[in-house]
Amino acid sequence: MLNKLVENSQRAINDGIYEIENKLPRSDKNIIEEIRKNPHASLITEVKFSSPSLGNIRQISDPTLIAKSMIDGGTMGLSVLTQPYLFNGSPKYFAEIRKQVRIPMLMKDIVIDKIQIDAGEKIGADIVLLIQSVFDNNLAKEVDEFIDYAHKKGLLVLIESHTKKEFLDSIKTDADLLGINNRNLDTLEIDLKATQTILKDYEKDGRIIVSESGIETANDIKFLRQCGADAFLVGSSIMKSKDIKGLVSSLVLAI
């Protein structure tokens, strides 16, 4: 599946998906500072209409209205899929939302080329996602090179891992936030205990830990917080909900 995701990104690059002309301003808020001072659960909620594991999650509709419902519910940041294949995402969706909201936004994609980071800068992203396994499997150039490039563009980097080894590799980098994906990208199976296993015996170095995938309930938030997560990236459960604002609010108030 990881190879398929990388191939999808290359296809999108070849198709000119990331060739953006106009440049949008990013948020004036720093998500790391916002998370640190938040007394409740810090959510990054995700706008995505499809995924490889679930297929179609929600009928494609106005992404801005969805984003505003998430903000009304109290989300700290927005993650927006910019990968068109398998996820039905688009840099255009991201840009549409960016024009309407001021909170921090994460460009969610499988980044294998710097042109995608350039696109992130132009559509007003505050954060870009890098996946450690893409680099560990030599499916893209050196991760440090990508992180440095993103920083030069003014972007924060969330680096995502799924295994203990990937996490240990990720903490050696200069990434700004450390993500733990509870989903195995090879099998697409989810286990929230991935966060627990990876953070066991880990002495925090001051960076924000973001637990990602499989989060559905307030109890999930409480469990992951006890494991050491500082923030929570929640996508499918919210996009499937008939009451986006209500579900986001209940997750935010879990802490």
pLDDT by position in tens, the chain (length 255): 889 999 999 999 999 999 999 999 999 999 999 999 999 999 999 998 766 555 566 566 688 999 999 999 999 999 999 998 878 889 999 999 999 999 999 999 999 999 999 999 999 999 999 999 999 998 888 999 999 999 999 999 999 999 999 999 999 999 999 999 999 888 888 999 999 999 999 999 999 999 999 999 999 999 999 999 999 999 889 988 899 999 999 999 999
Range of the domain at 48: 2-252
> For 106-116, b where at least 16 C-beta lie within 10 A, e where not — what string?
bbbbbbbbbbb
> For 219-243, b where at least 16 C-beta lie within 10 A, e where not — what string?
ebbebbbebbbbbbbbbbbbbebee
- What does the alpha-carbon distance between residue 222 and residue 251 come to, in Å, rounded to a whole number? 9
Across the strands, what pairs with 106?
A: 79, 127
Give pLDDT, residue 59: 65
Q: Which residues are catalytic?
A: 46, 48, 108, 160, 181, 212-213
Locate all alpha helices (DSSP H) within 51-100, ordered by sequence.
Answer: 63-73, 91-100
Quick one: how many helices (H) and strands (E) in the chain? 12, 10
Query: C-alpha distances in angstroms, 131 versus 98, 103, 160, 218?
Result: 23, 23, 5, 27
Give pLDDT, residue 49: 74
Give pLDDT, residue 89: 87
Sign of the dihedral defined by the CA atoms of residues 2, 128, 227, 72, in that order: negative
Across the strands, what pairs with 43?
A: 232
Q: CA end-to-end span of the chain, whole Å?
A: 35
Give pLDDT, residue 36: 97
Rg of the chain over all Cα atoms, to the nearest angstrom: 16
Locate all alpha helices (DSSP H) within the chain, ordered by sequence.
Answer: 2-14, 31-37, 63-73, 91-100, 114-122, 132-136, 143-152, 164-170, 193-199, 218-227, 236-240, 244-252
Q: Is 216 helix (H, G, I), strand (E, B) or coil?
A: coil
Query: How many Å is the maximal CA-CA distance in the chain?
Result: 46
Is 63 exposed, middle or buried, given 0-12, 13-18 or 19+ CB atoms closer than 10 A? Answer: buried
Cα 9 off chain centre by: 16
Give pLDDT, residue 60: 60
Residue 239 maps to which CATH number?
A: 3.20.20.70
Give pLDDT, residue 235: 84
Query: Amino acid identity of 115?
Result: I
Return the structure tokens found at 252. 């935010």
Number of domains within the chain? 1
The DSSP secondary-structure symbol of 49 reads S
